[in-house]
Every structure is written in structure tokens, then in C-alpha cells.
């Protein structure tokens, strides 16, 4: 085997490994999905693990408040049927801003969504993973 062949094989293996390695955006999308599912279902443990103890929340009316990462537990957990669309990530150091559309559905049957919002959230990377520190929610109207 020549040095050229060995180098080519190494580069090919490195490129394959790199293409299979999840990106920070992929990690954040999984975190946002898990946190959203926890909030809808009432999964307190997951929600608190992915949310700072206090965070800034701004609702559709534009009113802001400081909230705590406490949910009312629901037993059994409620069903969560939703999609995250148009997910984008801006990473700056140990902070990330994510933006996405949250589309919630009434049930598994085919039909139109019953609640749609655009969310912009700020996460900070900690020793234990990503945690939400701010959230902005805007309702998406049916028509403009």
C-alpha cells in the first residue's frame, strides 16, 4: 500500500466520521424537542433539567415575566402531538439562539393544527448540557 493510498483512506474515513457526527444544531434541536414535549406532557423532571431555575418568558401579548422551571405534574403524562418546523440556530460562544415554528395538533388523526407559534429561545451551555434562559412566543395567525 502506498502512502497516497493510506492518506486517501484516512481522509475518506475522517470525512465519513465527520458527516455522521451530530452538530450543535442537531443537539439543540433534540433539546428543544425534549423540553417542548416535557412542557406539553407535564414531565417535570425533563423540563427542569433543560430549563434554568428562573428564565425570562415573553408571551404572545408582548408581556414579559420571570418564570421558574416548575411544572404542575400530570399523571399519567398527557399525549404530546406536535412538530418543530423551520428550525434555525445561531451559536455564539456558549450561548445559542434558536428559532422555530411549533405546531400542535389536537390528536393523531389527519387534520389541521390547532395552535401554531413562532418561538425564539436562548440557551446557555452548562456543565450538564443546554439550558433555556429566555423564551419569546408569538402566535402565528391563520391569515394575514
Question: Domains of the chain (ranges plus CATH)?
Answer: 23-139 (3.10.450.50)
Top mean-pLDDT range of 3-7, 22-26, 132-136 = 132-136
pTM here is: 0.78
More confidently predicted of 135 and 115: 135
Whole-number pLDDT of residue 113: 67
Whole-number pLDDT of residue 54: 95
Question: How high does pLDDT run on average in the chain?
Answer: 82
CA 102 to chain centre: 10
Residue 11 has pLDDT above 80, yes or no: no
Torsion, CA 25, CA 93, CA 62, CA 144, rounded to 10: -40
User: Residue 51 in 3-state DSSP?
Assistant: strand
> Residues near 132 by Cβ (< 8 Å), separated by ≥ 6?
35, 50, 51, 52, 55, 121, 122, 123
Stretch among 1-5, 51-55, 122-126 having the lowest mean pLDDT: 1-5
Stretch among 6-10, 56-60, 91-95, 112-116 having the lowest mean pLDDT: 6-10
Amino acid at each position: 500500500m502506498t502512502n497516497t493510498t493510506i492518506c486517501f483512506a484516512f481522509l475518506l474515513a475522517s470525512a465519513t466520521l465527520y458527516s455522521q457526527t451530530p452538530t450543535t444544531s442537531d443537539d439543540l434541536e433534540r433539546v428543544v424537542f425534549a423540553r417542548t414535549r416535557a412542557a406539553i406532557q407535564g414531565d417535570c423532571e425533563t423540563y427542569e433539567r433543560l430549563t434554568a431555575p428562573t428564565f425570562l418568558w415573553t408571551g404572545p401579548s408582548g408581556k414579559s415575566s420571570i418564570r421558574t422551571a416548575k411544572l404542575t405534574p400530570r399523571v399519567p403524562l398527557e399525549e404530546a402531538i406536535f412538530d418543530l418546523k423551520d428550525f434555525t440556530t445561531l451559536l455564539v460562544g456558549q450561548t445559542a439562539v434558536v428559532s422555530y415554528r411549533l405546531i400542535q395538533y389536537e390528536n393523531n388523526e389527519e387534520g389541521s393544527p390547532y395552535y401554531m407559534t413562532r418561538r425564539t429561545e436562548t440557551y446557555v451551555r452548562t456543565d450538564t448540557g443546554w439550558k433555556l434562559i429566555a423564551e419569546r412566543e408569538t402566535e402565528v395567525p391563520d391569515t394575514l
